[in-house]
Every structure is written in structure tokens, then in C-alpha cells.
């Protein structure tokens, strides 16, 4: 069954046309380039492509270098289109700005400025100093392409993406607790592709005990396997849990009550991290700080309700994707997706912005950025003190925010 996403068609200028080609190339690195951003580049002269490329893996040449090598001497006097401002510092590879200047490129058009504080605006400034014309289109789709990188490079915390499947009446499982399978096969394949994009996948201990998930990417071909993270405050993960097989597994606990069980988990390959927080629970902000310091730039969270409740309450989730199945489960005691106390009023709700709606098999997939209300300003008025201020469309953030139903997540291709 064909899966489709809604999107707008807007007439393009020549610059936008070639930048769209660069964006398509950048997408080729979606599953391989982390922790680096996805970048595509196209070199054009007289309306013809002289060379193009994309960044595939950290440590390998950047998109601009691939494009320059493909163009060779034809790059002189041409225009370079690149989705992200070229780097100007020496990391795993030399700065791209040096190569662009040496190749004789006459004009550089970028989709967005690099949010990395070490690069932001400096790359274009160096190119202008060398006599190269530069233009930034401030393209939203280029920014959306790297929402995970943009968040991590500016906060040093991993980008957190919460995903759940639920019935049309908002239940993640019937009252009996059996949740397999709410989503259709096409949606489950799509989730595996999403899982493959992330550095780590996270679940709570309730999900481990109820479902015994594997949390790996099970698709044809060779795929990068994310690190598995279990939030298990009291270290109840069975030593024979399915997810202990394969990729590295991290168990975050508040305390290890049984040293012998902890030893058994380590013997099974798990790494145990004790991060005690309030109420004898795992300190989730501290965990994200630790993961970021170890190079984990993104985390895909797959449940359950208690973990979602804690993450949303701490305002740690940046994106939510909800798979809605065309079924009704009912039941007053059936679980809802987000546990915990929730919000006190509708005005204080966590809202989704930049929402996309995608069909996948018989399911509907809704995805959006999570916007949290600001803390109210001090006021002597109880009414004013209870009011909630929301960010305006012009407020700066670590990612794009605009109304409309625009395509961000890759469409379901099952």
C-alpha cells in the first residue's frame, strides 16, 4: 500500500532549485553520518552540474570535497550550493573553506548557517574575504534536515525523540496489558528505519518486563545498530533479557539493590550506571548530560508511559511521533501513552508544532516538535501568575518552528 505525506508545492528560484538537489544528496547520509550533520553539495556552472557529493561518515571527506573532486578544474568560476555553511576549522578533516578557495569557486550559496559555535558565520566570512560571493537562503528544510545535530551542538545534550503507537481512542494497550501489535506491519518497518537514524534507543523497565523487546534494527541489509538504554531505577532487568544481545546496552539505575544481580547483568554485557535522582528514580537530565559527553547525539525513546511522563515533565523531549491505528480499545484502566501527573490545565499543555501527517499502511503517523510553556512571569495577580506564555514564531530556538503541515520526517516507504 502506498504511503504518502502532505506537502506544499512552491515555485523555486534557480538557487532554490539547486539547493533542493543538494538537500536530496544530503539525505543519502541519513543513516550513516552521525555524529556529523547531513550535508549535500552541488557545483553548477552555466546551468549544468559540474560535480556533486554528500557526507557519508564522520572522518570521511565532507560533501564539498566530494563535489570539488568530481568537478576538478571545472569548479573554477562555478557556483557551489551546499546545505550547511562550510566548515572553517581543522577537525577529523581539513577545513572545507580552504579547498573551496583553492578551487576557484566564484559563488557559494548555503541553505543555513552552521549552528556550531566554532563555525557559525565564520566560514562565509572567510570566503568573502577571499573575494567569493556568498548567500545564505536560511532554508527551513535544510535546518530541519539536521534538527538532531543542531540541538546537540548547541546544548551538548542528545536530541530526544519520543515515539509511541496507540489506538484511535488514545490507548497504548488494552486493559489486559497485551500491546502486540497495535501498529500495522508497514508502520513497524517504518519505526525500524527511524530507529536506525538514532545513536541510542531508550525504554523504561516496564517495557522490558512486559514486552522483552530486542530494540535492534531488523531490516534487510546492513544497518547501524543503536546503543540500547534501559531506565531501571531498582535494577530489575532480567539477566536473560533479549535486548542484552547485540549492540551495547546501558542500564541506568538509581541504586543497585542486589550486587549479585548487577554482576550477572555485567556478565551478560550490560554497562550499569548509577544516577540517583529525586524520589529514588534515575536522574534523567544527568543521564542525558553523560550521554552527550560520551558522543551520543540523539536518543529514540519507545516507552513506556512512566518514562514518557518523566521525560515530558522535565521538558527533555524535542520531538514526538505518534502512530495512530484505526482501532478502538476502550477500557477505563487501559494505559494512555504518557504517565505521571500530566499538566494541571489545558493552557499548560505540551504542544506539537511543525506537525506532519503521514499515512503508512492503515495507520496515520503524526509527528511534531514539542513546545513547552514558559514559566509565568512573577505577578501579584493570581490569574496572571497562573497564565502560560508560549514562544512566538519569531523566538529563537535550537530548531525550526513554523505553522503548517510540512514534510520533515521521511515518508513511510513500506
C-alpha cell of residue 296: 551520543
Cα–Cα dist 186/58, whole Å = 31
Residues constituting the chain:
414
- 359 Cβ neighbours under 8 A, 6+ residues apart: 3, 4, 5, 365, 412
How far apart are the C-alpha atoms of 136 and 85, rounded to whole Å?
8
For the question of residue 64 being annotated catalytic, the response is yes
Q: Which of 335, 334, 329, 331 is nearest to 307 (CA)?
A: 335
Supply the pTM of this predicted model.
0.85
Sign of the torsion formed by the C-alpha atoms of 63, 68, 69 and 71: positive
Query: What per-residue confidence (pLDDT) applies to 257?
Result: 67
Say what the pLDDT of residue 179 is.
Answer: 66
Listed as ranges, residues in the chain with pLDDT below 50 are: 1-8, 376-409
- Residue 300's φ and ψ, nearest 5 degrees, are -105, 115
* Residue-level pLDDT at 3: 43
Q: Among the options 27, 52, 60, 64, which is catalytic? A: 64
Judged on CB neighbours under 10 Å (0-12, 13-18, 19+), 289 is: middle
Q: Is 117 left (phi over 0), alpha (psi -120 to 50) or beta?
A: alpha
Helix axes 96-103, 122-129, angle to 10 degrees: 30
User: Residue 404: its pLDDT value, please?
Assistant: 35
Name the H helices within 114-203. 122-129, 140-145, 147-155, 185-197
Amino acid at each position: 500500500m502506498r504511503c504518502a505525506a502532505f506537502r506544499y508545492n512552491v515555485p523555486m528560484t534557480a538557487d532554490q532549485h539547486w539547493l533542493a538537489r543538494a538537500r536530496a544528496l544530503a539525505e543519502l547520509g541519513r543513516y550513516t553520518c552521525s555524529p556529523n550533520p547531513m550535508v549535500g553539495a552541488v557545483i553548477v556552472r552555466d546551468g549544468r552540474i559540474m560535480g556533486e557529493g554528500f557526507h557519508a561518515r564522520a572522518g570521511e571527506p565532507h560533501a564539498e570535497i566530494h563535489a570539488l573532486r568530481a568537478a576538478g578544474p571545472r569548479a573554477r568560476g562555478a557556483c557551489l550550493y551546499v546545505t550547511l555553511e562550510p566548515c572553517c576549522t581543522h577537525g577529523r578533516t581539513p577545513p572545507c573553506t580552504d579547498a573551496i578557495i583553492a578551487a576557484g569557486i566564484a559563488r557559494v550559496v548555503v541553505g543555513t548557517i552552521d549552528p556550531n559555535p566554532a563555525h557559525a558565520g565564520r566560514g562565509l566570512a572567510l570566503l568573502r574575504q577571499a573575494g567569493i560571493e556568498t548567500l545564505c537562503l536560511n532554508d527551513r528544510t535544510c535546518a530541519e534536515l539536521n534538527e538532531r545535530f543542531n540541538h546537540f551542538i548547541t546544548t551538548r545534550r542528545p536530541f530526544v525523540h519520543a515515539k509511541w503507537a496507540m489506538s484511535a481512542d488514545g490507548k497504548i494497550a488494552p486493559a489486559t496489558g497485551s500491546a502486540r501489535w497495535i501498529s500495522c506491519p508497514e508502520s513497524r518497518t517504518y519505526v525500524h528505519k527511524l530507529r536506525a537514524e538514532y545513536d541510542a534507543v531508550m525504554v523504561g523497565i516496564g517495557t522490558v518486563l512486559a514486552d522483552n523487546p530486542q530494540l535492534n534494527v531488523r531490516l534487510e541489509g546492513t544497518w547501524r545498530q543503536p546503543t540500547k538504554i534501559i531506565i531501571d531505577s531498582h535494577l530489575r532487568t532480567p539477566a536473560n533479557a533479549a535486548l542484552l544481545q547485540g549492540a551495547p546496552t546501558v542500564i541506568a539505575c538509581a541504586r543497585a539493590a542486589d550486587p549479585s544481580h548487577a554482576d550477572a547483568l555485567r556478565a551478560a554485557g550490560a554497562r550499569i550506571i548509577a544516577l540517583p535522582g529525586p524520589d529514588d528514580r534515575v536522574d534523567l537530565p544527568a543521564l542525558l548530560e553523560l550521554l552527550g559527553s560520551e558522543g551520543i547525539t540523539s536518543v529514540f525513546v519507545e516507552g513506556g508511559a512512566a518514562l514518557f511522563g518523566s521525560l515530558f515533565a522535565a521538558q527533555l523531549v524535542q520531538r514526538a511521533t505518534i502512530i495512530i491505528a484505526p482501532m478502538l480499545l476502550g477500557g477505563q484502566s487501559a494505559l494512555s501513552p504518557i504517565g505521571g501527573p500530566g499538566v494541571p490545565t489545558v493552557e499548560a499543555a505540551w504542544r506539537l508544532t511543525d506537525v506532519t501527517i503521514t499515512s503508512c499502511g492503515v495507520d496515520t503517523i503524526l509527528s511534531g516538535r514539542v513546545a513547552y510553556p514558559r514559566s509565568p512571569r512573577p505577578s501579584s495577580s493570581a490569574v496572571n501568575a497562573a497564565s502560560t506564555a508560549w514562544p512566538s514564531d519569531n523566538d529563537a530556538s535550537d530548531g525550526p518552528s513554523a505553522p503548517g503541515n510540512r514534510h520533515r520526517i521521511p515518508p513511510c516507504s513500506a
